[in-house]
Structure 1
């Protein structure tokens, strides 16, 4: 294995353990996680593999096969920058349980596609340390640790969805997660038996204001919940009455969150009924809400969705935080080429960079390799 060979070459010994954690794509339930709502992600075939050995001297040595140069040695947490902050954040959240570590990282999550490579990195490292130190953390506890590292150390106010998907998903399933209670169950998502495929359309675009706008959306939701007198927008039961008490952006954000939670539950109902081919309309509705009410789409995402549906997809929507990244399209297998041609032509017509197409099947969550 490439990461083991790199670990041995860099540190002169074999790693104590090796763990893989996947990225994720969200089938539906966008920007609902930090509103205590419902999400339905599934793990993708790409992820991060971490080879790890503990150290007793508090020093952290980090090697990434995707970064130039040799190992980075960090004598203190304050020295971490860039991608290393996600790893050091996990170590920091473990506190006295872990003194230091030698770590080598290898990842194949398509960069910039919005498939949560950061969560995969956090979960892979946390799972390896949990294994090495016999900490006894459950997969959900590992997910929460990764989220806390990203919130408190990296400074990104993300919800729990990405880390939970990376830690808990099962192959061939999507993960239904209640982001308040953290109750979860894997729902069968057998696309192939219905002649369908999930196509990820990577726009190659990531707008620089994404993180600031993400934080702004979260603040707007929290403000709206306070004005409505509820703990979170998930608790709104009379949408019409709630909208009558709000104005402007807070009104629009509330409309999206409440209706998106309903779409998650409706989609699960269709999956349980075996009506997989019928979920496309919910994907379309989710995208329109994200575009018009939550305002986190982009021209590239909108064109991808519109062209995919025009080319024969049963439904499509942006996925992830927005402002770029990827869209997903539910496509009959015999129309995959036509859908890709339709999107590629629409991009070329507008002078956009050619998109990347990634057919994805629901993969396994974090595991030792």
Structure 2
């Protein structure tokens, strides 16, 4: 059966090249590739397999299940699970050799109570200002001391997470970095020597080189998008994902015709409207209808009316567009580029939101 529907084209060679560019930038510092949320919508297994061939030795996911999926696909590199430690999945973590995030005294108690055949490998997380997971700063010394005394775990990492490292004003990020350095001093005083010290994400890698320590966690940059417009854009990374969808109907309409839900768009003249088979359930952001457009060959065509769950409409005028023609929603092809960051900025969102919102219906082509 011939497929007619939205497609997500994933350029794995671009992914590999983006990694090479980042590796060249940071030198010998290991990169932990973040492949949570299905590899930011790109396909976690395919992304991890590509990067492991490039020599990467560290991945991060959010859930135990995501880590097991990678193991089942043959990934042998280290995999850190970012989510809150779940006492009921410690045996799964041990079985699949997954590294665990440890961020509370309750986590420590669960680790003490676990009876396994091997030491559990962990990274200790300290909250320096994100106010999410991580031991509060004022409890850090006691937390580290207790963790250091548990002989059934292997403390392989100590880390934190920036809240504003991708912004122009780095005062808060610098404050977080100073607090993290204070925690490192405490760890040294206690005689702790974790293999990896890390707090640098994509934004910090570019904006705060002094935060790189001996590991960098990278997500968005690998996929060819910058985390914001307020970080240096010198690296020639390229978007890995290209989102296209087919035209499934073209019809003539009169001036004054209402288009889509709510009738918020009305044609100003006689024209032709094309229906594109992709909607917000597929990952086209609904607010994009206000200023949005798609590209066919070398022309941009305005989105007319609200984006529907499964379809959107565009005004094609007299252009030679027919059933089955594919339009570019974002990414790049031989006719040009629609930057996902520009869409995100226009609708007051982020590229993180847009890429991870790609639904299960678009056919992924590698």
TM-score norm. by structure 1 comes to 0.28
Larger radius of gyration: 2
